[in-house]
Structure 1
Amino acid sequence: MRHKAPLIDALLGLIAGVGLVALYAPLLATAAISFFQVVRVRGALGFAPFSLDPYAALLANGEILAALATSLVVAAVASIAALGLALMFAFYFVSARRGLGLAMQTMVFLPFLLPPIITGLSLLIAFREIDLGRGLVTIIIAHIVFIVPVVYRTVLVRLQLLGSSLTEASLDLGASRVQTLRYVILPQMRPALISGVLLAFAISFDETLITLFVAGSQTTLPIRLWAMMRVGFVPEINALATLILLFTAVITFAIGMLQRAGERA
């Protein structure tokens, strides 16, 4: 029987509370400032009345909207391509000999495990050697290389949990391998596939360092935000950071719900 320790429980709760405040207070402060701008009145700091002017200025900024469109296109294309590659790698891993599967898996994870500056520099050198000019295509390729491991791991775990019994039963009942994949395996993996794509989309959308190496004249939203911060904090930055925070929170919540649905299934 577990003995209760109120003092230890209270101490752990206090530590957890302080940790949560340290993590989320800056984010909540940024969101608050986007609605109530900080002003100086008679030498003292105060808050201006509630206003949506920073969001209006953000929506009127054509450069930010163009960068947002580029980030959405890159994240969507890279996530879908990464899903296709991750599925092929996962099926190969469960069917190949152990040595070959582990070698393939090491190659898949390597770009993600390396420091982003090394991955970005390596991709830049590779693009230069094949004479591929930096732009939207190189950004998408770089993001695919970086996010494939995320989708691959999510897909592989679900595929291993399914085991081989469903495939064997489907084949025994006369279905072809394509029919088994379409009507048996993929429906069972749907929560893992969707959550993997959403997670990859969020990572691609926020990627900055690798993108700096391969972007050329193209500008994604994180790069545009970084450029705006170099010249000083303007109200649009707080509004943009708040919207990105809300967008990421929605994706995180969706991933959590999908993972719970997969566990129940």
Structure 2
Amino acid sequence: MKQKAPCLDALLGLVAGLGLIALYAPLLATGALSFFQIVRVRGTLGFAPFSLDPYVALLANGEILAALSTSLVVATVSSLLALVLALMFAFYFVSARRGLGIAMQIMVFLPFLLPPIITGLSLLIAFREIDLGRGLVTIIIAHVVFIVPVVYRTVLVRLQLLGSSLTEASLDLGASRVQTLRYVILPQLRPALISGVLLAFAISFDETLITLFVAGSQTTLPIRLWAMMRVGFVPEINALATLIFLCTAAITFAIGLMQRAGERV
């Protein structure tokens, strides 16, 4: 039996605690500053009383809300399109010959594995070659190309775990392939589909560098925040960051629940 090392356990716990503090202290500070603003009183810094003014100002800031709306539209549409394509690619991989399946996987994963600046520049050149003006459509296309691998990998792993026995049993019992897909395969893939879409949504919502190449006159929230860095942030940014953090935490929690549900099935 191995002996425990209390000192080592304490050291590892201390390192883990410091790591968590380094990760979450800025987020907690941002949340606190969205309710208690820093003010200067008689030459010294202090905190103003509790106030929801930054959240009220956020609701009145048309530019930030417009950028947020664009990001939500892009992330939603891109995630749904990526889900459809990922399903098609996953079904093709499990049924195609090995060489063709591997070639398809390389094509799917390559835009995600390349540096974002290369992916963004390549998409910009492609859009110019086909004379497609930059705007909302090009942003959605670029995001779909970037997030398809995320959904595809999630769906493929679940699909491979199912095997072919369910499909064969359904066909033997007289169901058509469409019925088998609708009533047998898709219900089994539901946790992977939902978790993949949520993860793709979070990645698309946060994407900045590729979007800069293909956005044109459209402004997403990350691009808007990037532009504001040069002139300084307004107080409502703390409120926006707090809301985004809470939504992201909720999405992450939902993904974890979906993955656990998929493992139990």
Deviations 1:71-95 (A, max 9, x none): 1111111000000000010111111
TM-score normalised per structure 2 = 0.98
**Contact 1:229–1:237 under 8 Å retained in 2:** no
Partner of 1:38: 38
The number of residue pairs the alignment matches comes to 265
Q: Shift of the alpha carbon at 1:165? A: 0.8
Percent same amino acid among aligned pairs? 89
In structure 2, C-alpha distance between the alignment counterparts of 1:194 and 1:101, rounded to whole Å: 24
Q: Residue 2 of structure 1: CA displacement?
A: 4.0
State the match for 1:9 in structure 2: 9
Shift of 1:122: 0.6
Does structure 1 residue 128 correspond to structure 2 residue 128? yes
CA RMSD of aligned residues (A): 0.9
Identify which range, 229-238 or 192-201, moves more after superposition: 229-238
Amino acid in the other structure paired with 1:252: T
Partner of 1:163: 163
> What runs of 5+ residues in structure 1 fail to find an aligned partner?
none
Correspondence 1:100-249 to 2 at 5 A? 100-249=100-249
AA matched with 1:123: L
Whole-angstrom CA distance in 2 between matches of 1:98 and 1:78 = 29
Distance in structure 2 (CA, Å) of the matches to 1:116 and 1:127: 16
What does residue range 75-114 of structure 1 map to in structure 2 within 5 Å? Answer: 75-114=75-114
User: Tell me, which stretches of 5 or more residues in structure 2 are unaligned?
Assistant: none
TM-score (norm. length: structure 1): 0.98
Corresponding residue for residue 54 of structure 1? 54
SS in 2 for 1:189: helix
C-alpha deviation, 1:4, in angstroms: 1.9
For 1:197, the aligned partner's letter is: V
Output the CA distance in 1 between the equivalents of 2:226 and 2:50: 26
Tell me how far 1:250 sits from its aligned partner. Answer: 0.7
Aligned-partner Cα distance in 2 for 1:2–1:198: 42
Query: Is the 8 Å Cα contact of residues 228 and 237 (structure 1) preserved in structure 2?
Result: no
Q: Which secondary structure state, in structure 2, belongs to the residue aligned with residue 49 of structure 1? A: coil
